[in-house]
Structures are given as structure tokens and as C-alpha cells.
Amino acid sequence: MTNERIPKLRSLTFTSGNIKNLATDCEQLNIRGSVALHQEVRLREISTHGHSSFHSLVSANIFKNTGACVIKDFCEINELSNAGDLKLRYGKISKINSSGKLTIEQSLQVKQLHVIGIIKAKEIQAEQFHLKLSGRSDVEQLIADEICVEKNNLSISLLKKNLICKSIKGKSVHLSNTIAEIVEGDIVTVGDNCIIHTLYYTESYSISLNAKVQYIRSKKK
């Protein structure tokens, strides 16, 4: 039996500057300062800490952000972790774990989205959406198979911990601390501190005594 050495990724680290010609053999990019990328980036791993901006397409297997980062074009990422302030325009991502602030300016397609913190988005389409609120979050349109929104009791914040939505649509929907115009689902649980204008359900629903729902409509076939 032989022990095969796993080759290390060819990495580059930048601390400042505008990068327009990244080395073609680079597989891992580390940003540790104020850096702007002005070209398409296709890498195995990206790690950002400081102030970074990506002005063209970003494709990566792993993307880690612990600073202030902006992705201004389309991104396609397998695993993304955010512990800072990340803003992206639109993209397709398999798995996201965010414990900071996440902003989606247009639309996001994602399989698993787990947020402990704050999220701002125009449109999210997901398989699993799990949000633990540590402040006010805003999602204009949320579509997911499984949706769970709850308050993060471990965080201390003077701001109200609410999710504000125009439309929420899913199969299994569990909400608390949510203000929405329309909620639609197969099985819907409206928990504490929710204010819903219209609730549509196909199988069943339940409403907490500490929640307000103005209209309830069945969509059973």
C-alpha cells in the first residue's frame, strides 16, 4: 500500500490593487486587503478578508468571505460561507451558510440556504430555506420547498427581528416573526409574532394565538 501525496492548490494572495490578469495556473485566491478583480474568475477556492469586489463572472467550488465583499456579475458556486457582509447580484449556488449580512440584489437559485443573521433579497428560489433572525430581513419573493423562519435568541439586538416579505410560497412552511402580504403552502404553520394578509393552503394550516392572519383561503383540489 502506498501513500499518495495530495498536491496543494496553486494559490495567490493579494493585499491591494486592481487585478486584471490573474495567473492562469492559479487555483486558490486569497484576498487580505482592498482588492478589485476585473476579469472572469474560475477557481477551486476563493477566500476574502478585507474589502473585495468582483466585476465579472465568478465560478468557484468553495467561496469563503469574512470581510466586505461585492460580486457585481453572475456567480456560480458550490459551497459559500459568509461571516461578513456579502453582496451579490444574481447567481446559482448549491449551499450557503451565512452568519453575517447577505444581500441579493436580483435573484438567487440555491439548494440549501442557512442564515443566522440578516438577509436582503429581491428573489430567492431554494429547496431548503432556514433563517434565524438577528435583525430585520427583507425578501421580496421567497419560493422554496421547505421554509423555516425563527428568531435567533442567542443574538442581542435593539432592532426588531422580523422577516418582511411580499410573497412566500413553499410546500412545508414554518414561520415566526414574519410580516407578509401572501403566504402559500401545502402545510403552513404561522407562529408567534406573524402578521399575514392572505394565507393560502392546500393540506393544512395552524395559527398561533400571538399571530394575525386577515384572510385564509383553501386551494384544495
What is the DSSP-derived secondary structure letter of residue 94? E
Q: Which of 9, 74, 98 is nearest to 46 (CA)?
A: 9
**pTM score, whole prediction:** 0.91
Give the number of other Cβ atoms within 10 Å of residue 11's Cβ.
14
Residue with grid cell 426588531, as numbered in its chain: 160
CA distance to 53, 109, 144, 179, per residue, from 186 (Å): 40, 21, 12, 19
- Residue 84, C-beta contacts closer than 8 angstroms, at least 6 positions apart: 49, 65, 66, 67, 68, 69, 100, 101
Mean pLDDT by 10 residues, the chain (221 residues): 57 92 90 95 95 97 98 98 97 97 97 96 97 94 97 62 96 97 97 96 96 92 61
Give residue limits of the domains in the chain: 11-98, 99-221
Residue with cell 476579469: 39
How do residues 113-162 score in pLDDT, each as one tens digit?
999 999 999 999 999 999 999 889 999 999 999 999 998 766 555 457 89
Q: Quick one: pLDDT at residue 57? A: 97
The CA distance from 45 to 131, in Å, is 26
